[in-house]
A = this chain, B = another copy of it.
Amino acid sequence: MFTTREIVIWRTHSTLEGMRTAYQEQLHSLNAVLGEMCDLAGSAMDRATQALLQADLAIAEEVLSENDRLSELSARAEEQAFALLALQAPVAGDLRGVVSGFQIVADVDRMGALALHVAKVARRRHPAKALPEEVNGYFAEMGRLAVALAANAREVLDTQDPEAAVRLQEDDDAMDDLHRHLFTVLMDRDWEYGVAAAVDVTLLGRYYERFADHAVLIGRRVVFQATGQTPEQFQDAS
């Protein structure tokens, strides 16, 4: 590590242009780690959904044991972001890009935790299935959307394409629709599977919905990294 004085001297001697290039490279490398984290969270949710639908204990355990990998990447991403702030001392828009990086780490961590919650419900109810047959289709589709949102979040982290980043909101609208329909099934028809199943379905629905929310937030932060604008400002301007 460098002392404060060494960093101040180093900053003074560097050219601003050199700092800018180094900043761009390091931000790219940070976003690559964040993208890898999105892949892991998406894969965890994919397998947690399989474990849930098929009451597959082995897959549920796999999801639970592989979460350490996400924590490692999370720690690495935070260290890279700190190094970027300390050594490059970015200002204005660049600064916001790095701070967005910290926020994205928190979002993906939460996505991973929500996939774990799904896997834990599958494990808790094994060998029984947690879900009544009637709602399987909803969860298969919510799982598919969640995995797609994680993949899209990864994609926009790579491309920094603000228009694609804004579109994550649309996939989330589909998730919200499904979630609302699921509640109709729970509430309005003759639900014949008892309260315990209703509680599981309620919590599981919430986990998928929150997973999607965090993917949308990543999209919003990428818009900000790429344009310095909120998604609303960006859409008004374009």
Interface string of A85-119 (1 = CB under 8 A from B): 11001011001100100110010000000000000
Contact B85 A85 (CB under 8 A): yes
Binds B, one of A8-16, A25-33, A144-152, A164-172: A8-16
Interface size class of A (residues with CB under 8 A): 20 to 34
CB distance from A202 to the nearest CB of B (A): 4
CB distance from A66 to the nearest CB of B (A): 22
Interface string of A170-211 (1 = CB under 8 A from B): 000000000000010011000100011011001100100000
Q: Which residue of B lies closest to A217 (CB)?
A: B106
Q: Which residue of B lies closest to A2 (CB)?
A: B91
- In the assembled complex, the Cα of A198 lies from the Cα of B195 at a distance in Å of 7
- In the assembled complex, the Cα of A186 lies from the Cα of B85 at a distance in Å of 49
A4 close to B (CB within 8 Å): yes
A58 close to B (CB within 8 Å): no
A237 close to B (CB within 8 Å): no
A residues adjacent to B (C-beta < 8 A): 1-2, 4-5, 7-8, 11-12, 16, 81-82, 85-86, 89, 91-92, 95-96, 99, 102-103, 106, 183, 186-187, 191, 195-196, 198-199, 202-203, 206
